Amino acid sequence: MSKLKQLSGSDVIKIFNSFGFVIRSQRGSHVKLRRTTPQGEKQVLTIPYHPSLDKGTIKAIIRQASRFISISELHKYFYTD
């Protein structure tokens, strides 16, 4: 069974940069990432910029991102095999 990796906010931002998301803004400790699809749709993710993210927070980020990116693509970045 796969286990969630321990990640920081910085790690998660790097993961989503590889999917084409760029930092749009930051308010406090939360960073907004955005990418625009070729059809002009804006996709936004909000990531806490903390040194260590709780497992529940990582799961929420995965759930949020799964609207735009398939779970199978995200799995290798967030889970150990």
* pLDDT tens for each residue of 15-70: 999 999 999 999 999 999 999 999 999 999 999 999 999 999 999 999 999 999 99
Domains of the chain from N-terminus onward: 3-76 (3.30.920.30)
Query: Three-state DSSP class for 37?
Result: coil
Share of the chain above pLDDT 90, in %: 96
pLDDT at 12 over 90: yes
> Rounded to whole angstroms, how far apart are CA atoms 6 and 20?
23
Q: Which amino acid, 72?
A: S
> Rounded to whole angstroms, how far apart are CA atoms 46 and 80?
23
pLDDT at 69: 96
pLDDT at 2: 87
